[in-house]
């Protein structure tokens, strides 16, 4: 079964250059299952800088709605949007607003990574070790880590691996324990994974 999905995120670590083997498209594919062949189109959220839906809600929530409506206009079966929380916890409210809007009916999964996308890759040290080719110790709570990206870089350096972060994330996304990511990153990955599952693409 083939399904088209528009995937929108912030940076190269999530999307690389829009390739289907980038980290985020791979995670989405694993979440929907092998019975569904996703035909994903990836775009950076900055491409929607001037797209803000008019009406109620804060600016970020209305931007999410604008992206959702654009996906619907272009005929996608669904849309996935992921951004970092960073230090702004109000982004969850914006994501909830867009997730639950009745303005459009296209299935969508709007996610906020806590605190950043990089944190998800600290959740499974066994997968990290496999990708880096070296022993990796269990990492502290990913969602409260102050600088997950630097932590990932330090792990790569300590392993003596030449792999770039975007390639590390891509390879990790292929072998990580999804249930462990749900357990260790419940506010970010857990909510996001539930919303991807709710797309009902099967």
DSSP assignments along 64-104, one per residue: HHHHHHHHHHTT-SEEEEEEE-TT-TTHHHHHHHHHH-SS-
- Report the distance separating Cα 16 and Cα 58, nearest Å: 29
Which domains, ranges and CATH numbers included, belong to the chain? 2-117+178-197 (3.40.50), 119-174 (no CATH)
The DSSP bridge partners found for residue 166 are none
Q: Is the pLDDT of residue 20 over 90?
A: no
Kindly report the average pLDDT of the chain as a whole number: 92
Cβ atoms 72, 62 nearer than 8 A? no
Cβ atoms 87, 13 nearer than 8 A? no
| DSSP code, position 12 | H
Using CA atoms, how far residue 106 sits from 6, 56, 64, 134, 165, in Å, is 11, 19, 13, 43, 33
What are 121-145's pLDDT values in tens digits?
A: 999 999 999 999 999 999 999 999 9
Instruction: Name the pLDDT band for 1 (thresholds 50, 70, 90).
Output: confident
201 vs 99, higher pLDDT: 99
What is the mean pLDDT of the segment spanning 183-195? 98
What are 48-85's pLDDT values in tens digits?
A: 877 666 666 678 988 999 999 999 999 999 999 999 99
Q: Which residues touch 142 (CB under 8 Å, ≥6 apart)?
A: 119, 120, 122, 123, 148, 184, 185
Q: What is the per-residue pLDDT for 175?
A: 97
């Amino acid at each position: 079964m083939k399904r088209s999905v528009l995937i929108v995120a912030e940076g190269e670590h999530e999307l690389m250059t829009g390739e289907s083997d980038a980290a985020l498209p791979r995670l989405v594919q694993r979440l929907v299952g092998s019975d569904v062949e996703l035909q994903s189109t990836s775009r950076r959220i900055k491409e929607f800088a001037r797209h803000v839906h008019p009406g109620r809600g804060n600016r970020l929530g209305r931007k999410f709605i604008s992206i959702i409506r654009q996906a619907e206009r272009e005929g996608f079966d669904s849309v996935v949007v992921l951004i970092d929380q960073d230090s702004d916890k109000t982004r969850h409210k914006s994501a909830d607003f867009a997730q639950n809007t009745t303005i459009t009916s296209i299935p969508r999964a709007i996610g906020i990574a806590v605190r950043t996308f990089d944190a998800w890759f600290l959740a499974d040290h066994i997968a990290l070790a496999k990708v880096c080719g070296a022993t990796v110790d269990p990492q502290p709570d990913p969602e409260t880590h102050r600088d997950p990206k630097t932590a990932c870089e330090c792990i790569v350096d300590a392993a003596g691996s030449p792999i770039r972060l975007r390639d590390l994330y891509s390879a990790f996304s292929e072998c990580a324990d999804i249930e462990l990511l749900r357990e260790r990153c419940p506010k970010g990955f857990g909510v996001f994974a539930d919303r991807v599952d709710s797309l009902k693409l099967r």
